[in-house]
Structure 1
Amino acid sequence: MAITANVATAGEFGQFSLGYAGLLLFLGAQRALIGETLLVKYSAAGALDPTARKAVLGASVLAAAAALPLLLTGAILTDESSRLLWLVIAASLPFVLVQDTLRYLFICEGSPSRALLIDGVWAVLSISSMVFVALNAGTVSAVVLCWGGGAAAALALGLVLGRALPSPRAGTRWLSANRNPGLRYLGEFSALNASTFVVLYLLAIPLGAAGVGALRAAQLLFSPLNTAFSAIKMAVIPELVRSRGTRVFRNRLIETFVIVAALAGFWGAVVMVLPASVGALLLGDTWQSASELRLPYFLQYVAMVPYTVLLAYYRSVQANRLSTLMRAVLAGLTLVLPLALAYAGGTPAAAWAFTVAVAAATVVGGIATLLSRSKSRTEHPHRSAPTDARAAAGR
Structure 2
Amino acid sequence: MSRRGLGAVASVLDQAASSATNILVLVLAARLSSAAGFADFSMVYVTFTVLLGLNMAYVGQSLVLQKGALLGSACRAGLAFTGAASAAVGAVLALVGLVLPGAPGRAFLALGLVLPLVLLQDGLRYCFSALRAPQRALAADALRLACVVPALLLQPEGASAARLVLVWGVSALPALALGLWLLWPSVRGAGLAELVREVRPYLRRGHLGQRFVVEFAVGNGSSQLAVLGLGVFATPLAVGALRGATTLFGPLNVLFNSANSFGPPVLARARGKRGVVRLTALLGGALAVTGAVWGAVLYALPDRLGRELLGDSWTAASALLPATGAQYAVMGLGTCALLTLRVLNPKATLSLQVVFSLLSVGLLLGGYAVWGVAGAAWGLALGSAAKAAAGWLRVARLDVPAPAASGTASEPAGV
TM-score normalised by L of structure 1: 0.84
2:60 corresponds to: 35
Q: 1:100 aligns with which of 122, 139, 143?
A: 122
1:364 corresponds to: 390
| Change in CA separation of 1:201 and 1:291 when aligned onto 2, cut-off 3 Å | same
> How many Å apart are 1:389 and its aligned residue?
9.4
Q: C-alpha distance in 1, partners of 2:325/2:69? A: 39
Q: 2:173 aligns with which of 137, 152, 166?
A: 152
> How many Å apart are 1:37 and its aligned residue?
1.9
Instruction: Show CA shifts across 1:352-394 (max 9, x none).
Output: 001111111121122123322x2x33xxxxx421259999999
Q: C-alpha distance in 2, partners of 1:178/1:270? A: 48
Q: How does 1:289-300 map to 2 (within 5 A)?
A: 289-300=316-327
Q: C-alpha distance in 1, partners of 2:232/2:204? A: 43
Q: 1:54 aligns with which of 76, 84, 92?
A: 76
1:21 aligns with 2:40: no
Q: C-alpha distance in 2, partners of 1:297/1:269? A: 11
2:249 corresponds to: 222
Q: 2:161 aligns with which of 133, 140, 146?
A: 140
| Change in CA separation of 1:96 and 1:236 when aligned onto 2, cut-off 3 Å | farther
| Change in CA separation of 1:226 and 1:389 when aligned onto 2, cut-off 3 Å | closer
| Change in CA separation of 1:154 and 1:266 when aligned onto 2, cut-off 3 Å | farther
What value does the CA root-mean-square deviation take over the aligned residues?
3.4
Letter in 1 for 2:110: V
Letter in 2 for 1:104: Y
1:187 corresponds to: 214
1:2 aligns with 2:21: no
Q: 1:90 aligns with which of 103, 108, 112?
A: 112
Count of aligned pairs: 380
Q: C-alpha distance in 2, partners of 1:335/1:246? A: 35
> How many Å apart are 1:346 and its aligned residue?
1.1
Instruction: Show CA shifts across 1:10-46 (max 9, x none).
Output: 222222211111111111011111222223x33xx37
Q: C-alpha distance in 2, partners of 1:160/1:371? A: 50
Q: C-alpha distance in 1, partners of 2:326/2:221? A: 23
Q: C-alpha distance in 1, partners of 2:92/2:339? A: 30
Q: How does 1:1-395 map to 2 (within 5 A)?
A: 1-39=26-64, 41-42=65-66, 45=67, 49-134=71-156, 138-163=159-184, 164=187, 169-175=196-202, 179-204=206-231, 207-236=234-263, 239=265, 244=268, 250=276, 257=284, 260-261=287-288, 264-265=291-292, 267-315=294-342, 319-320=346-347, 322-372=348-398, 374=399, 376-377=400-401, 383-386=402-405
Task: Give the % identical residues.
Answer: 27
Q: C-alpha distance in 1, partners of 2:362/2:53? A: 21
**Structure number with higher helix proportion:** 1
Q: C-alpha distance in 1, partners of 2:97/2:49? A: 16
| Change in CA separation of 1:389 and 1:116 when aligned onto 2, cut-off 3 Å | closer
Instruction: Show CA shifts across 1:216-235 (max 9, x none).
Output: 21112212323442354235
Q: C-alpha distance in 2, partners of 1:118/1:252? A: 33
Instruction: Show CA shifts across 1:127-169 (max 9, x none).
Output: 111112246x644333322321232221111111112379762
Unaligned runs of 5+ in 1: 378-382
Q: C-alpha distance in 2, partners of 1:98/1:359? A: 35
Q: C-alpha distance in 1, partners of 2:412/2:145? A: 39
> How many Å apart are 1:257 and its aligned residue?
4.5
Q: C-alpha distance in 2, partners of 1:258/1:107? A: 29
SS in 2 for 1:386: coil
Q: C-alpha distance in 2, partners of 1:31/1:344? A: 35
Q: C-alpha distance in 2, partners of 1:341/1:267? A: 24
| Change in CA separation of 1:103 and 1:205 when aligned onto 2, cut-off 3 Å | closer
| Change in CA separation of 1:345 and 1:388 when aligned onto 2, cut-off 3 Å | same
Instruction: Report if the CA contact (8 A) 2:46-2:228 is conserved.
Output: no
| Change in CA separation of 1:179 and 1:314 when aligned onto 2, cut-off 3 Å | farther
| Change in CA separation of 1:220 and 1:52 when aligned onto 2, cut-off 3 Å | same
